[in-house]
Amino acid sequence: MKQHDAMYIDGSWRPAEGRGTIEVVNPADGQVIATVPAGSAEDVDAAVRAARAALPGWAATPPQERAARLAALRDQLVARADEIAATVTAELGAPLAFSKAVHAGAPIAVCGSYAELAGTYAFEEKIGNSTVLHEPVGVVGAITPWNYPLHQVVAKVAPALAAGCTVVLKPAEDTPLVAQLFAECVDAAGIPAGVFNLVTGLGPVAGQALAAHDGIDLVSFTGSTAVGRKIGALAGAAVKRVALELGGKSANVILPSADLAKAVAVGVANVMANSGQTCSAWTRMLVHRDRYDEAVELAAAAAAKYVPGEKIGPLVNATQQARVRGYIERGVAEGARLVAGGPEEPLAAGCYVRPTVFADVTPEMTIAQEEIFGPVLSILAYEDEDDAARIANGTVYGLAGAVWAGDEAEAVAFARRLETGQVDINGGRFNPLAPFGGYKQSGVGRELGRHGLTEYLQTKSLQF
């Protein structure tokens, strides 16, 4: 696997100041596939200084030219899509077909959308006797997780560059190789030196240094609620902007009039995708009491088809594997009924977890409240729509969700009652232009499309 023993700072690969290294492990077989440098606070400082120095020039670059660079970046991602997919499969463990379709495909779509938006967005508007300028926020510190490692990078870097901001990226420890590949694409796309900088490293060291750096104007973070809280507190103390995309415990509400077989099949597939490591996964299935047994049977049969090592990959690392197995044990201990999977390891090697379905889950159980981040579905029964809404809204999260009904208007009416940032109606497709982000503790701010672009802008009003 290709790797750089350096940081991408100010347009070139330079040796790290920090001496530490991070081993990158393939979770499917436990093999070390690469080693990357663990950046120090000094590396972060060098990257932030490069980004600050590049800011005035990039901010003043006409939006059409920024759009052209982003289009060139998208073309690079297209040209290297197979390499991107292979890299994500090696460091995350996702099956290759999923890596090609989603881990390589989504970033291409998102980068393309910002190439277009940069060229068409109204960076100036008239309001009465004022001209309002939409200016870049400044230097962005982006801290990303491993679960959709390139998508989460592009969902921050592309809108930031479209807005005229410059960026320092600290990617997740588990998936630095695709971030290095992305830096090569940025370089090949002719994006000027210092506009994008990459520092690989540990969260509590490089991530913390980036979040706390005075030279950062906005911190954009995706990851756990625990770290998000720390970053939000740091940003608050320094009065700097912050965007947080955190966890979820999304509800898949199947109303009595729905096509049950379809709703359950799509619902199970949604949870099992990416081995359950998706912040927006519909990990709670809510079914009316009258159709509950039928739904449980369908879900158990659907989950059994996800054969570990074939249709479903491992979890990202041994820590996550142990964490998820712990949640499955907790579910059993709290009285939920296992109808598929269980805590046992399905394979002798690799960080695999059995695709698991729990029935007889009640709303207060740990497995119905906390984000598990693994292939684990909880099925809950409800009595009527008020009960379903209460259960669906009864967690600290509110990131995504789904509603199924025989009639679209009925599903939409119910979706309006949900405290959540996205709802898919009768299996609606992912839209890379729709705002994505959380209500409640699922986060602050929105990513993707026009709403994602405005996160990186601030306004200045000129009065005439």
Interacting residues with ligand NAD (CB under 6 A): 143-147, 170, 172-173, 203-204, 207-208, 211, 222-224, 227, 230-231, 245-247, 279, 320, 371, 373
Residue with Cβ nearer ligand NAD (209 or 423): 209
Distances (CA, A) of 394 to 29, 252, 284, 363, 391: 39, 13, 11, 8, 5
Spatial CA neighbour of 416 closest among 430, 432, 403: 403
Residue with Cβ nearer ligand NAD (146 or 196): 146
Judging by beta carbons within 10 Å of its beta carbon (0-12, 13-18, 19+), is residue 164 exposed, middle or buried? buried
AA letter at 266: V
- Closest approach of Cβ 437 to ligand NAD, in Å? 10
- Closest approach of Cβ 374 to ligand NAD, in Å? 8
- Closest approach of Cβ 187 to ligand NAD, in Å? 22
- Closest approach of Cβ 153 to ligand NAD, in Å? 10
Residue with Cβ nearer ligand NAD (113 or 320): 320
From 111, 165, 185, 279, active-site residue: 279
From 91, 173, 245, 371, active-site residue: 245
- Closest approach of Cβ 356 to ligand NAD, in Å? 16
Residues constituting the chain: 464
Residue with Cβ nearer ligand NAD (135 or 370): 370
- Closest approach of Cβ 238 to ligand NAD, in Å? 14
Residue with Cβ nearer ligand NAD (62 or 204): 204
198 within 8 A of 144, measured Cβ to Cβ: no
**111 is annotated as an active-site residue:** no
The residue nearest ligand NAD at its CB is 203
CA 458/CA 163 separation, integer angstroms = 10
Residue with Cβ nearer ligand NAD (12 or 319): 319
- Tokens standing for 206? 């490089």
Residue with Cβ nearer ligand NAD (164 or 228): 228
Q: Return the residue matching tokens 């099992």.
A: 272
AA letter at 375: P
232 within 8 A of 220, measured Cβ to Cβ: no
- Closest approach of Cβ 109 to ligand NAD, in Å? 18
Active site residues: 245, 279
